[in-house]
Structure 1
Amino acid sequence: MMVDAVVAAMAVSGHENIPVIVAETGWPSEAEAQAAGNYAEMYLKGLVTHLRSGLGTPLRKEGVAEAYIYQLFDEGDSSRKNDKNGTTGAATSGITGAGQHWGIMYPNMTMKYNFDLSGSTRVTGNDKRWVKMILELAASLVSVLLFL
């Protein structure tokens, strides 16, 4: 649903042909009621299956250009606290207390659960045209939001 929201906003601003890249996606495996390892495993397996299928979304039939799983390793010692709320990294996850448990591997490099990531590709390079298009898109989105 969120991909289609971005695609709709891009279409309004005249940039519907820009590839969509999901920068961080995942599910916490510990520390919250909904953060169980089996949910994290189901989410990631479903994500990989969906991305491989090429089915996309209702508004972006060809799918997203890339998706990045957040994160490879758990952050480590669960007794370590970094902020006044007693959480570590939760500011980026949006879930208090689960900031350390988004990894697909334990800190000792063993897998939490098995799923296949083969067929993944590596993206390299830095094309300045993308930077210009992203800045134009951001300006367009701001102007659209101001009129709402």
Structure 2
Amino acid sequence: MSAILVFLLLGILSSITAAESIGVCYGVLGDSLPSKQEVVDLYESNGIGKMRIYFPEADTLEALKGSGIELIMDVARESLQSLTDQNAAMDWVNTNVVPYAQEVNIKYISVGNEIRADYNEAQYILPAMTNIHNAISSVNLQGQIKVSTAIDSTLISNSYPPNDGVFNSESYIKPIVEFLKNTGAPLLANIYPYFAYIGDKENIPLEYALFTQQGENSVGYQNLFDAMLDSVYAALEKAGAGDVEIVVSESGWPSAGGDGASAENAATYYANLIAHAKSGSGTPKRPGGSIETYLFAMFDESNKQGEESEKHFGLFTPDKSPKYQLSFN
């Protein structure tokens, strides 16, 4: 076998591995968490090929060097306003991207996480995205790193049936998705069947949310995850951006702290989501292909604000023991 053929086969195998890889979000709002290097080692030992971090942190980026782990790196919320200045965006990229880009597999920059149209920060999202993209392009990394933002389901109205999904804040979101279309970047979307389920238990069966329902419902869906994801695709189509892909940048189920929150339900959800995302079946609206998905989250975050359930989404305990028996890849 020629050296060229071996090289090509290795490249194909590498791309298959990357396509099937499941990501896990790395939140740090917990007590007694392992060191950054231990966390990266934990990702590697479990075959977790993708990570999301919620702000650039030098120790984490140093630990990721040479790992090959694909990275979503968020812009910290408090930095959004400053990045409406092009020079500040260039400084941000020179500090947080350029020193690591050759050894860390930075794939996406998320400019904002779940910033809704009525938030003060909403006015900064598109200018900051544009400036970060320009800065990335100025150092010739636009082919490696795409700039996006992560939305939640509150931006979608008429989500059932999924084909009726539409953005409810078009003046805010349409210029953003136009930017994504023009730059070839995906939309990042946080998809949580858990929150949809607890918000409407009368109409949403638990089995439908946990991927355990037998057979399709009246509109052709067997699970809530696909229905929620396809409602975002429908909204993109209505906004003239039907060719923009979606990366599921968060999805999870809590093990305690709320209705339907139990270790059994969480284990069922995560195992079934991993299998579904990797299966190649896609969704009814986008059949075929794996669904690039990031599970939330690596550890329970005992210091997180909000509902008690927010503290119990972890897949591992601080001593690195798995809470569930999951096969990531």
1:110 corresponds to: 321
Identity of aligned residues (%): 33
Identify the match of residue 257 of structure 2 among 19, 28, 31: 31
Alpha carbons of structure 1 residues 33 and 13: separation in structure 2 relative to 1, 3 Å: closer
Q: Which moved more, 1:9-18 or 1:42-51?
A: 9-18
Structure 2, gaps ≥5 residues long: 1-226
| Within-5 A mapping of 1:1-148 | 1-63=227-289, 65-76=291-302, 88-90=304-306, 96-118=307-329
Contact 1:75–1:107 under 8 Å retained in 2: no
| Larger strand fraction of residues | 2
Rg: which structure is higher?
2
What is the alpha-carbon distance in structure 1 between the residues aligned to residue 243 and residue 259 of structure 2?
A: 39
Contact 1:32–1:98 under 8 Å retained in 2: yes
Contact 2:279–2:290 under 8 Å retained in 1: no
1:108 positional shift? 1.4
Moved over 6 A (4+): none
Contact 2:236–2:242 under 8 Å retained in 1: yes
Residues 31-75 of structure 1: CA deviation (Å, up to 9, x unaligned): 223110010000000001101111111111135641110100112
State the AA in 1 paired with 2:305. G
What is the alpha-carbon distance in structure 1 between the residues aligned to residue 327 and residue 279 of structure 2?
A: 14
What is the alpha-carbon distance in structure 2 between the residues aligned to residue 29 and residue 65 of structure 1?
A: 24
* Structure with bigger RCO (C-alpha 8 Å, 6+ apart): 1
What is the alpha-carbon distance in structure 1 between the residues aligned to residue 274 and residue 291 of structure 2?
A: 13
RMSD over equivalenced CA pairs, Å: 1.6
State the AA in 2 paired with 1:2. M
1:13 positional shift? 1.8
Contact 2:299–2:317 under 8 Å retained in 1: yes
How many residues in Structure 1 have an aligned counterpart in Structure 2? Answer: 103
Contact 2:278–2:291 under 8 Å retained in 1: no
TM-score in terms of structure 1 length: 0.64
Structure 1, gaps ≥5 residues long: 81-87, 91-95, 119-148
TM-score in terms of structure 2 length: 0.30
Contact 2:258–2:308 under 8 Å retained in 1: yes
